[in-house]
Chains A and B, each alone.
Chain A
């Protein structure tokens, strides 16, 4: 069974460019999460979806960030325009969560560097 698949694994871009990160969750999972990890701020929850519906996006830093989940097998996180402070590892995770229980399965992450 394939795990959570993220692409690209690495991206280097220049300030002002648009960045799109992609995630394919594990089939059958009903929840999908986007996290950002930096040395300074640790693992931050950006947004999560339940049954393809965004439930809480209060962790999204600002309007430059947007996330979509058009169907149960695909999600995107977009940054437009990107800034150097957006440099981080972005993780997508999915789970078969019922209420507040259930483990999360993480993808290998997308390492973003904005110059």
Chain B
């Protein structure tokens, strides 16, 4: 079945430093989604990528979809304490969504 690997598992940064999480699939993806889950909260949708090589930005967040549509990344510029949480990539199969293990981000002020 479809497998997704997300790295790193955990990262802690100083406030103001950048952060990147990577998602790699064993198969070519039709699309990929990213979610954020705050501690004690529920996953919240951030974005969906569909096109090969696509790059989308949301303020300090930059999302990329690889040219081969097998990998994706989320980059946060100048992290803030509000960025704390776990970031998940999710692979869109037909009518279902499989989540990666997530990257837990800790930001030290």
Name A residues whose Cβ lies closer than 8 Å to a Cβ of B. Answer: 31, 33, 35, 42-43, 45, 48, 50, 55-56, 91, 93, 97, 99-109
Contact = CB atoms under 8 A, between A and B. Distances in A.
Contacts of B42: 91, 106-109
Given A100-B31, A104-B45, A45 B96 contact: yes
Nearest to A58: B1
Interface residues of B, number: 23
B78 interface: no
B95 A104 contact: no
B93 interface: yes
Interface of B: 30-31, 33, 41-45, 48, 50, 88, 90, 92-102
A33 B90 CA distance: 14
A97 B98 contact: no
Contacts of A106: 42-44
B98 to A, nearest CB: 6
Given A106-B42, A107-B42, A108-B42, A48 B101 contact: no
Contacts of A56: 95-96
B93 A100 contact: yes
A100 B90 CA distance: 11
Nearest to A111: B40
CB-based closest 8 A-B pairs: A103-B45, A43-B99, A100-B92, A106-B42, A42-B101, A100-B94, A106-B43, A48-B96
